[in-house]
Amino acid sequence: MKVRILVSFKDSVLDPQGQTVRNALHTLGYDAVQDLRQGKVFEVELAGVDRAAAEKLVPEMASKVLANPIIEKYTWSVIED
């Protein structure tokens, strides 16, 4: 099964990279862009894991390894069964 984990800065943490991208888009005339935040995405292929197991495994990997809870938050979803 395949899961997708999105990691991004907490709202309380400044995202200068996102701001730079937003500014670049503005310069190019994409004025509709109000706000932009940049994060990381991990697409993970898991073998021999069912939904129930994933519910336990993925949050553990995400909070222990993939995200730093001081500055980052994550969400995840199953994208392929």
Partner 1 sequence: MKIGVVLFPGSNCDFDTIHAFKEVLGKPTVPLWHKDHDLQGVDAVILPGGFSYGDYLRSGAIARFSPLMQEVREFAAKGRPVLGICNGFQVLLELELLPGAMLRNKNLKFLCRHVSIKVENEKTRFTRKARKGQVLNIPIAHFDGNYYAPPETLKAIEDGGQVAFRYCEPDGSLSEASNVNGSLHSIAGLINKAGNVCGLMPHPERASEKILGSEDGRFILESLVESL
Partner 2 sequence: MHDEKTLRQHNVTNEEYALIQSLIGHDPNLTELGIFSAMWSEHCSYKSSKVYLKQLPTRAKNVVQGPGENAGIIDIGDGQVVVFKIESHNHPSFIEPFQGAATGVGGILRDIFTMGARPIALMDSLRFGPLDNARNRSVMEGVVSGISSYGNSIGVPTVGGEVVFDECYSLNPLVNVFCLGLADKDKLFFAKTEDVGNAVLYVGAKTGRDGIHGASMASQEFGEDVEVKRPNVQVGDPFKEKLLLEACLEVMARRIIVGIQDMGAAGLTCSTTEMPAKSGQGVDIDLDQVPQREKGMTPYEILLSESQERMLIACRPDQVKAVQAAFAKWDLDAVEIGKVTGDGQLKCRFHGELVVDIPVGAVVDLCPAYHRPLAEPAKGNAAAADVAEPADLGGAFKALLSSPTIANKEWVYRQYDHMVLVNTMVLPGAGAAVLRIKGSKKALAMTLDGNGLYTQLEPRAGGKIAVAEACRNLACVGARPIGVTNCLNFGNPEKPGVMGQFKEAVEGMSEACRAFDIAVTGGNVSFYNETEGVPIFPTPVLGIVGLVEDTDTVVGPGFKDEGDRILLVGETKDELGGTEYLKVVHGREDGEAPSIDLARERAVHEVVLDAIESGWVKSAHDPSDGGLAVCAAECAFHSEGRLGCEIDLDGAGPAERTDARLFGESQSRILITASRENAVLIAGMAAERGVPASVVGKVGGDLIKFSRRGKAVVEIPVAAAREMWMSAIPDFFAKK
Q: Which of 41, 47, 52, 70 binds partner 2 (CB under 8 A)?
A: 70
Virtual torsion, Cα 19, 25, 31, 33, nearest 10 deg: -50
Asked if 33 touches partner 2 (CB under 8 A), the answer is no
Distance CA 36, CA 22 (A): 6
Asked if 43 touches partner 1 (CB under 8 A), the answer is no
Shortest reach from residue 70's CB to a second copy, in Å: 18
Q: Which is nearer to a second copy, 21 or 78 (CB)?
A: 21
